Amino acid sequence: MQKDTLCLGLLSLGPRSGYEIKQMFEGPLSDFYSLSFGTIYPTLNKLQSEKYVSCKQLSQSKKPDKKVYTITKKGKDLMKENLLGDASAYIRSGNFGDQIKSEFFLLLLFAKYLPKETLETVLNERVLFLQQKLEQFKYDGPVPSDLQALRNEKSITFIRGLATTLIESGLTYMEKNREKLN
Amino acid sequence: MQKDTLCLGLLSLGPRSGYEIKQMFEGPLSDFYSLSFGTIYPTLNKLQSEKYVSCKQLSQSKKPDKKVYTITKKGKDLMKENLLGDASAYIRSGNFGDQIKSEFFLLLLFAKYLPKETLETVLNERVLFLQQKLEQFKYDGPVPSDLQALRNEKSITFIRGLATTLIESGLTYMEKNREKLN
DNA sequence: GGTATCTATATCAGTTTGATATATATTATC
DNA sequence: GATAATATATATCAAACTGATATAGATACC
């Protein structure tokens, strides 16, 4: 997805600064997508210069100033147009373009070159890591106010449920089949 | 994982050309990792100049010449050393560094901006796509000879089983919960 | 007073991709 | 039998992106 569309989409959930957009990527979206500051800030500047977003400089007591961006009518139109265009492209290609770089799977692929104890440790840590992820996705308590908008999205409920299901079945599989790696 | 370690790892399964390494990424590895020609060819040149791999120019009848790279003892040592180093880093960080860019999840996140029929089509196509993926992972027939080495790895059996399990539970979830997106 | 951490924006070298170029050979189409 | 499309094979490069670093005000804690 184009970075422009993505930033506009996140701004459609409410006005936000570049820093707060980054927090969404580092928090609730971290398992699905990510953009760096080096992408976010130039994108916001470009979107502003083309009137897809407006910007208010906010001086905060107790914190540095921040620039809060708000999506404009023009921006919302562009976002919808791009989403529709992207969706059709995915349908036409029959491929949803998911791009995965899994260090863990690569490590498993070359597992035979690891000392046995190292492999054991890696698998144990992976299980612990997945259990933590599971807790994260299941967590239903309060979240920081600027992340609440994401939490309120219906689609996030669907996605969190899916992630929970996937991790649970992955964990079960790993526990049942880990001896296949020996 | 460093591109050097990864190329060495794939060459450890048998001598290969750059083109054939790319085929592994486009075929059986496509769901877990990918490197482009722009990365593969310079990496192989660098590895060769540093004696981690040796190279034989093969003239083939009926096909263009190819450069077949073979991992050296020095290369195998470096690979093992790097794998061990990486593994420890993952354990220490408690994060296996999986990086996912899922266009599909982003599209779902902004599903409310899509026309209802478009969303329906996207979800239907996704189900079809996942069913095809499932067939792919379950397929147990013959594969092209240069991909057979991968197929023979014990770890690939484990990974294919895991992928199958994940896709199956994902499909079940999607069929049961897709109305949550309306 | 020192140091660590958080909020906030900005920049940039280095890496990677996606596209393009080049070349040969095979297969399909017309 | 000519032409187009596809497959094999290597190489290169502009454009995009990341990860690191710089800068700076404010709080927290010891």
Compute mean pLDDT per 10 residues along chain B, 182 residues long, and list them. 96 96 93 94 97 91 86 97 85 66 91 94 90 90 86 93 94 96 90
| Cα nearest neighbour of A98 on chain B | B102
Bases of chain D within 7 A of a CB of the protein: 8-14, 16-21, 24-27
pLDDT digits (tens, 9 = 90+) for A28-69: 999 999 999 999 999 999 999 999 999 999 887 777 789 999
- Residues in contact with A173: Cβ distance below 8 Å, sequence separation at least 6, in sequence order: B161, B162, B165, B166
Mutate to test the interface with B, among A84, A113, A156 (most CBs of B within 10 A): A113
Per-residue confidence (pLDDT) for residue A92, from 0 to 100: 59
Q: Is the pLDDT of residue A83 over 90?
A: yes
Amino acid (1-letter code) at residue B118: T
Per-residue confidence (pLDDT) for residue A59, from 0 to 100: 81
Can you point out the beta strands (E) in B9-104? Answer: 53-58, 66-71, 99-101
Cβ within 8 Å, pair B165-A162: no
> Could you tell me which of B133, B164, B1 has the C-alpha nearest to residue A113?
B1
* DSSP secondary structure, B118-132, as one string: HHHHHHHHHHHHHHH
The domains of chain B are located at: 3-93, 103-181
Per-residue confidence (pLDDT) for residue B93, from 0 to 100: 57
8 A C-beta contact, residue A82 and residue A4: yes
pLDDT digits (tens, 9 = 90+) for A101-127: 888 999 999 999 999 999 999 999 899
b/e burial code for range B81-95 (CB count within 10 A of at least 16 → b): ebbeebbeebbeeee
Per-residue confidence (pLDDT) for residue B96, from 0 to 100: 55
What angle do the packed helices B3-11 and B18-26 form, to 10 degrees?
100
Distances (CA, A) of B139 to B30, B135, B149: 16, 6, 16
Is 1.10.10.10 the CATH number for B3-93? yes
Give, in Å, how far the C1' of C28 lies from the CA of B63: 18
| Cα nearest neighbour of A80 on chain B | B113
Residue found under tokens 């006005």: A15
Per-residue confidence (pLDDT) for residue A144, from 0 to 100: 85
Q: Nearest nucleotide to A146 by CA–C1' distance?
A: C7
Per-residue confidence (pLDDT) for residue B97, from 0 to 100: 61
Per-residue confidence (pLDDT) for residue B100, from 0 to 100: 85
Q: Which of residues 34-73 of B touch strand C (CB under 7 A)?
A: 34-39, 62-64
- Residues in contact with B70: Cβ distance below 8 Å, sequence separation at least 6, in sequence order: B11, B15, B53, B54, B55, B56
Amino acid (1-letter code) at residue A18: G
Residue B157 structure tokens? 């059996």
Q: Which DSSP category does B76 fall into?
A: H
Q: Is the pLDDT of residue A80 over 90?
A: yes
Q: Which of residues 3-32 of A touch strand C (CB under 7 A)?
A: 17-20, 22
Q: Which of residues 114-173 of B touch strand D (CB under 7 A)?
A: none
Report the phi/psi class of residue B62: left, alpha or beta, with left for phi > 0 and alpha for psi in -120 to 50.
Answer: left
Can you point out the beta strands (E) in chain A? Answer: 53-58, 66-71, 99-101
Instruction: Please work out, in degrees rounded to the nearest 5, the angle formed at the alpha carbon of residue A59 by the alpha carbons of A53 and A64.
Output: 100
pLDDT, averaged across chain A:
91
What mean pLDDT is predicted for residues A172-181?
95
Compare CB distances from B110 to A9, A90, A118 and report the shortest one's residue: A9
Compare CB distances from B104 to A31, A98, A112 and report the shortest one's residue: A98
Per-residue confidence (pLDDT) for residue A2, from 0 to 100: 92
